Structure 1
């Protein structure tokens, strides 16, 4: 529009204005719609006069022209703003929570029986409560006879490198109590705890630590029955509250504390006979990961009665500003020795007595008796003929599963294609079981579904709580991060390359498997106690299901492809597929968008029918889920997309070379290569071509494992016959992950990465195999039923015997097992899905 620099009321006409502009070049007058330099306006006026265009018409046309220009500029500007605004919106979607009602309705002190627990999965023993910030307690110890220069051997975080003979829960009910045994050289530590409900702030608890020498030390060289044992209490940084020490000389008798979540409380330290010296530490740490360092840095020794005694010295501690938040009670003791830590809330007004000494022993024995009774009525192992040794093993497997449940709070690091760098997820809490306390003390999405199959049988209330927490981690897209690394204690255990979670990477929807299992086992209980929880779950489950269908779909109809494979890597023999959960299991050697992943297609088929069943239960329309399930289980379509006549089995499809190797590439012109190690790179010896991936293994079994095949399927007979071939998957210890004749069998994926899913025996897949074999042995007819029953009986026997044998031989349940000799492999203890052996023993699938 025209901008007036003078008052238009002076009556100057447009014609006059143009004339004056042409003749005089005056600027102190009403301007045309868009001001131009005098020369341009004069030239335009002369052209208009020469063409016979009246000046008034020319002015009107100029106005139209300028309006059009202005409109174009406005549209361009609005489009620019809208475009970049949309990009900004896309950037925020990854960390925007799903706009649905939260599934977790109650937590913290509103769920008093699960408020306190052994939720610090990554430490040998510790208690915390289910709050974003917690009062933390924990145990540390050293054996003087094992101390070395620069390596005092402090035990605190569960570490593989500590090389303990064995450690783990032998009894734990997931709620009220737990008993753990730790064997370190020739010392046995037994840690236990008992909770007592009462008051309005989560109740009381007591922990007992007993130390017992395992040998007669009088005649044994380099063996000692002495221990330096510490128990600490710390206010997690960011938790508002106070802790005040009650001292007696060098000893810490008690702590008096107060926080907004706990109110007022007291922690008493009670030690029995055998104490050579007591000491304590009062300091401030900036992170919970500094507790070990702060304790070690204050450690000193002094000679008492000719013996060197280790003590804590507060003078050696750096002084941090602010109130102290770490208090350590330490004793140098001579075994046998017992320490009790008694926590009491001030809100408990009708406490019968302090939970210590005989009162503690009586309460603990009562819980142990109830645990044994419930274990037998739940799993019936004694009735099935298992002896006491086998039953104790099974009890330990279950106890480590529920005893490994942790509570985490923090912020994940996430990234999408719309984010130039990782961004924080929203701060969230997760109640979850962990695969391994020493190596994976955090939540894993696809592992959790397998964990809950066992937890469902033992305590479905815990399962509902865990599933609810996972679903509340869903963002507005319907995505759940596959690995949850929440809080400082979890983050310190994760290599940098695995910290950032990307929102195109999925995981198998095993939570649906667990939820459907719960509906099958506990339908009436679930509808009575958690029907509204299911209604809150439903919109999140549908968002997750549709996200999987939308983001993991393949190029061809009815095909699926895991995202996240690296198509440009030179280091990997076969690019990993972390999203599938099977990591380095061989897929198409050269990832492209035309891949078809058989296992994902089967997972989506199962997810569809499970969603249909849940929709029917809740009164929703299930037709679209059934339609998807029907399409994904159509045998002719499945065969056309995934059946390989050459392999006589189902397989992935993609751009694949049958011959790739890792070689060290010589680079003589490179200065780097003369002075540094050059890492091996992948070399493709035979050019890739599209076709079925020539690997027979776990992936090939998925139509059977997830019961996609009907009991009368001809393809099922072929698969059952291949299973029993010892050159393929069959071993005396379980089914190996890929055939011994497969191209990638037991090969390294990089120069530094040993084979993971390329031969070793994994218990979660063997569980699915046994579940399907039992199904086909009862639902099938003729050869299908006979072969399934035969394979089921022998495979079950092999798996149970080997896991139990390795447990008593090594002291641990393992992540995987060697297919050549049955030895435990990977990390230990691994009482995530390997603990499914309890369901295998009880034949509860």
Structure 2
């Protein structure tokens, strides 16, 4: 309420003074301008080991990527690295430090290619220019290796050009390119060696077949095919090798690195796509820079010395920013946290393209068979700015995951969260209110997704974690304003600021005003499409039953409920169209609470009353519909004609039964809290040395089937549980009995300690964070390098208190 009053007061002052009437809009525009400038360039091609593109430049993007392979033997080309692949079996890959506003450092250990690779990405302070420093050294110096690095650049779109400074192919150690595009303006790119020796052990096979020189080739590649750079390179190289063989040029083992240099044997005319290949002798380390400068910028990066200075500055700045946000004393834990956060931020990507949507397939909700979406149509193009769960396995936007990602990012860069939420919210359709649960935009993104999962359908929802996150943002803003009430100082907007939305509530107000109509449509779509069939329940539920506030997940099958996000978590067997899902009701409660908060900020009293009533109805329905007094927990329910009471509880103790507590829907004075604390802390059921299990060890479905959400520890849910324990019991729990409060403190302390100890152990041994953790051993399982919601361990280490 205070946040709303402060905003209303501020706006009233603006309106009262004619000379300042334009100030508010000017501040919003300046905030957006500085944000866009600081986030213009970054390695936004999340699916690449390293790939740069600009944000919000859709017609004329400059695309850059890096590839490498071992050129010392003919089979090395088969290990050409480009897209992040788990099957590459790299010993390590990922960011050690990173912030999309500043840059960072990525480290790669590629044993098969005998290469220790370090990539620094930095930007000028105005955000308009950038540089990449590529440094490499052998992992085993006793091997006579030759490492070939391939940089590709493409100026896409009509009216764009990218050409050699001298108008012809260059083979010098310094490559100079000049480019121009309507959206980017005029720019220059230089690629220049700093140290290292190009390969000279064997004789050159010809003037353009020489590993001792940089090979530069340009050609025309359609913009929607740039992502196939690896295939194009391999095809051209194969043709070149075949040409060498048929020409009868004598070759020996020492000539192989030269033979594996790309060249233009087909005499393609110069185009806007460029390959630049350098092959280094790994007898010593090597280093080269790629520097981009916009000609209109006042802060050009003029030399490699300036790149070195920017690397030094950015490294210090990144460490200082981390320390200012997270208090982690132990050096090993701190490194673990820094790298985990860096890789979450390093997974932020910008996507633009069409999506595949099936709007015509009708669901037979009484069959519960696997849904086949066989009538896809391309729609768009649209754009998305989003982090990804995993660069190797899920390099695309996930609605269900993204809210959890932003709960972590919020602790580091509050304003960045708004940019990402805004990108998602603006994709909500004006007429229907739908947004896809997966956003797979364009052919590059689709190339990483099995065909059966590429098509989206407007009937299928997901847990609305984005509204959970937005609700948290509003709560944080209100708490911040509460803390400075009466003594707030004016704060100026600066490009380096990451908390302007906390300091300046009118900026958050502006965003809320802009997206409220879309969020309202989305709320209506979500609750309308997932509303349950309640007619039969009306016969057995009388007092306190609100039939409009009962929900189920549309699209569940006999074995899976993918829309819930908890894919194989046990549900009613056999399925029934009239079953009601506890977690769907809980997420509807979060949506209603968030909409109430937004309406309150916007001073919409009628809307506040409406959503307050809906939220209260949902909380009452938790007890009326889903509370099982015998098992002392909330459960799914279904209609069973053979059951005496018609309503049958479907109780599988685990994440679903814990969700009303995890989402803070249980009243603080409820006597049911004691049962939650006992269940969470029960070592015979859910509590383990590695975290709270997804399903009770005593459940009949524990560890059955694919055992995805039937046992393993998931960090996103454990984070919610810790946060809720903090919410209900910090300070002892005012309305709880002493025994429950003491038990809650013990569960909180042990759970936090166990999660940190186990995840840090696995990271120390394997070098990665995982999708989930085995319920018996604690070892990482599922997708490797899953620095999506598993990155919430950073909050657990650096923000949540050690004890309640």
TM-score normalised over the length of structure 1: 0.77
**Are residue 331 (structure 1) and residue 286 (structure 2) matched?**
no
Once the two structures are superposed, residues 5-34 of structure 1 have per-residue CA deviations (whole angstroms, 9 ceiling, x without a partner) of xxxxxxxxxxxxxxxxxxxxxxxxxxxxxx
| TM-aligned CA distance change 1:339 to 1:624, over 3 Å | same
1:841 to 777, 797, 801: 797
Cα pair distance change 1:713/1:188, threshold 3 Å: same
Tell me, yes or no, if structure 1 residue 128 matches structure 2 residue 53: yes
2:762 alignment partner in structure 1: 806
Structure 1 pair 146/314, CA: closer, same or farther in 2 (3 Å)?
A: closer
Q: d(CA) in 1 for partners of 2:451 and 2:763?
A: 32
CA deviation after TM superposition for structure 1 residue 537, in Å: 1.4
Measured in 2, the distance between the counterparts of 1:504 and 1:610 equals: 22
Please give the secondary structure, in 2, of the residue aligned with 1:327: strand
* Residue in structure 2 matched with residue 562 of structure 1 by the alignment: 553
Residue 80 of structure 2, aligned match among 154, 162, 179: 154
State yes or no: 1:377 paired with 2:310: no
Could you list the per-position Cα deviations for residues 752-786 of structure 1 after superposition, in whole angstroms to 9, with x for gaps in the alignment? xx321111111100001111112222235222311
Q: Partner of 2:256 in structure 1?
A: 308
Distance in 1 separating the partners of 2:29 and 2:279:
42
Q: Tell me the secondary structure at the aligned position of residue 559 of structure 1.
A: coil
Match of 1:627 in 2: 613
Out of 715, 728, 731, the position equivalent to 2:685 is 728
> Would you say the 8 A contact 1:448–1:511 is kept in 2?
yes
Change (3 A) 1:176 1:315: same
Q: Is the 8 A contact 1:457 1:521 kept in 2?
A: no
Kept in 2: contact 1:123–1:138 (CA 8 A): yes
Q: Secondary structure at the match of 1:411?
A: strand
Match of 1:495 in 2: 450
Is 2:176 the partner of 1:254? yes
What is the alpha-carbon distance in structure 2 between the residues aligned to residue 615 and residue 517 of structure 1?
Answer: 15
Q: Secondary structure at the match of 1:633?
A: helix
Residue 743, structure 1, aligned to residue 700, structure 2? yes
Deviation of residue 304 (structure 1)?
8.3
Q: SS in structure 2 opposite 1:738? A: coil
Distance 1:527 1:106, change over 3 A: closer
Provide closer, same or farther for how the CA distance between residues 451 and 248 of structure 1 changes in structure 2, counting only shifts above 3 A: same
User: Alpha-carbon deviations, 1:82-137, whole Å to 9, x = none?
Assistant: xxxxxxxxxxxxxxxxxxxxx99998998221111110100001111011141111
Q: Distance in 1 between matches of 2:264 and 2:54?
A: 32
Partner of 1:693: 650
Matched, 1:534 2:512: yes
Q: Confirm or deny that 1:451 pairs with 2:405.
A: yes
Name which of structure 1's ranges 238-247 and 482-491 shifts more when overlaid on structure 2. Answer: 238-247
Alignment check: 8 A CA contact 1:564 1:577 kept: yes
Contact 1:112/1:197, CA 8 A, preserved across alignment: no
Question: Is the CA contact (8 Å cut-off) linking 1:104 and 1:472 kept in structure 2?
Answer: no
How far 1:273 sits from its partner (Å)?
A: 2.1
Question: Mapping of 1:253-272 within 5 angstroms?
Answer: 253-271=175-193, 272=195
Shift of 1:597: 0.5
Kindly tell me: are residues 146 and 443 of structure 1, through their superposed partners in 2, closer, same or farther at Cα, counting changes over 3 Å? farther
* Alignment-derived partner of residue 210 in structure 1: 135
Residue deviations 1:219-262 (CA, integer Å, cap 9, x gap): xxxx45531111110234x4541121244447671222111111
The 3-state SS of whatever aligns with 1:194 is strand
**Could you tell me how far apart the structure 2 residues matched to 1:823 and 1:799 are?**
12
Q: Secondary structure at the match of 1:229?
A: strand
Confirm whether residue 431 of structure 1 aligns to residue 415 of structure 2: no
Structure-2 change in CA distance of 1:327 and 1:657 (3 Å): farther
Contact persistence 2:217–2:276 (CA under 8 A): yes
1:762 to 2:714 alignment: yes
User: Quick check: 1:791 aligned with 2:714?
Assistant: no
Q: Which residue of 1 aligns with 2:248?
A: none
What CA distance in whole angstroms lies between the structure 2 residues aligned with 1:297 and 1:835? Answer: 39
The aligned residue for residue 634 of structure 2 is: 650
Distance 2:132 2:600 in 1: 47
Q: State the distance in 1 between where 2:148 and 2:462 align.
A: 44
1:234 is aligned to 154
For 2:360 and 2:667, how far apart are their aligned partners in 1?
41
- SS at 2:380's partner residue? coil
Could you tell me which residue of structure 2 aligns to residue 477 of structure 1?
A: 432
Which residue matches 1:820? 776
The corresponding residue for 2:586 is 602
The residue aligned with 2:664 is 707
Task: Please say if 1:296 is aligned against 2:243.
Answer: no
Alignment root-mean-square deviation, CA: 2.7
Q: Is the 8 A contact 1:139 1:231 kept in 2?
A: yes
User: Does structure 1 residue 411 correspond to structure 2 residue 367?
Assistant: no
Question: Do residues 245 (structure 1) and 164 (structure 2) align?
Answer: yes
3-state SS, counterpart of residue 584 of structure 1? coil
Distance of 1:164 and 1:831 partners within structure 2: 16
Q: CA deviation at 1:595?
A: 1.0
Q: TM-score when scaled to structure 2?
A: 0.80
Cα distance, 1:196 vs structure 2:
0.8
| Cross-structure match for 2:494 | none
What residue is the counterpart of 2:110 in the other structure?
184
CA deviations over 1:157-179 (Å, ceiling 9, x no partner): 00010000111111112211111
- Which of 34, 38, 41 aligns to 1:113? It is 38
2:296 to 335, 340, 347: 347
Distance verdict in 2 for CA 1:835–1:350, change over 3 Å = closer
Q: Distance in 2 between matches of 1:458 and 1:391?
A: 15
Indicate the SS of the match to 2:345: helix
The Cα offsets for residues 591-620 of structure 1, whole Å up to 9 and x where unpaired, read as 332111101111111221222122111101
Please give the alpha-carbon distance, in whole angstroms, between the structure 2 residues aligned to 1:194 and 1:207.
7
Q: Secondary structure, in 3 states, of the residue corresponding to 1:728?
A: coil
- Tell me, yes or no, if the aligned pair for 1:589 and 1:656 is still in contact at 8 Å: no
Distance in 2, matches of 1:141 and 1:213, equals 13
Change (3 A) 1:544 1:177: same
Which residue of 220, 230, 234 maps to 1:284? 220
**What's the secondary structure of 1:148's corresponding residue?**
helix
Name whichever of 706-715 and 406-415 sits farther off: 706-715
Q: 1:827 aligns to what SS in structure 2? A: strand
1:442-474 Cα shifts (integer Å, max 9, x gaps): 101121111111111211221111111101111
Report if the CA contact (8 A) 1:806-1:813 is conserved: yes
Correspondences of 1:4-23 after superposition (within 5 Å): none
Equivalent of 1:194 in 104, 122, 127: 122
Does residue 368 in structure 1 map to residue 315 in structure 2? yes
CA distance in 1, matches of 2:519, 2:783: 32
Q: Distance in 1 between matches of 2:299 and 2:631?
A: 71
Distance in 2 (alpha carbons) for counterparts of 1:761 and 1:209 = 38
CA distance, structure 2, for counterparts of residue 105 and residue 416 of structure 1:
40
User: Relative to 1, partners in 2 of residues 1:240 and 1:327: Cα closer, same or farther, differing over 3 Å?
Assistant: farther
C-alpha offsets along residues 163-207 of structure 1, whole Å, 9 cap, x if unaligned?
Answer: 001111111122111111111114211101111145xxx621110
3-state SS in 1 of match to 2:672: helix
Please tell me whether Structure 1 or Structure 2 has the larger radius of gyration of its CA atoms. Answer: 1
Greater Cα offset, 477-486 or 307-316: 307-316
Question: 1:350–1:796: structure 2 CA closer, same or farther, 3 Å change rule?
Answer: closer
What secondary structure, in the 3-state scheme, does the structure 2 residue paired with 1:308 have? helix
- Report the secondary structure of 2:64's partner residue: strand
State the Cα distance separating 1:690 from its structure 2 match. 6.3
Q: Counterpart of 2:91?
A: 165
Q: Distance in 1 between matches of 2:443 and 2:641?
A: 43
Contact 2:179–2:187 (CA under 8 A) maintained in structure 1: yes
Distance 1:701 1:203 in 2: 47
1:592 corresponds, among 576, 582, 586, to: 576
1:140 aligns with 2:89: no
Task: Say if 1:234 and 1:326, in contact at 8 Å, map to a contact too.
Answer: yes
784-793 vs 299-308, greater mean Cα deviation: 299-308
1:489 & 1:699 partners in 2: Cα distance? 35
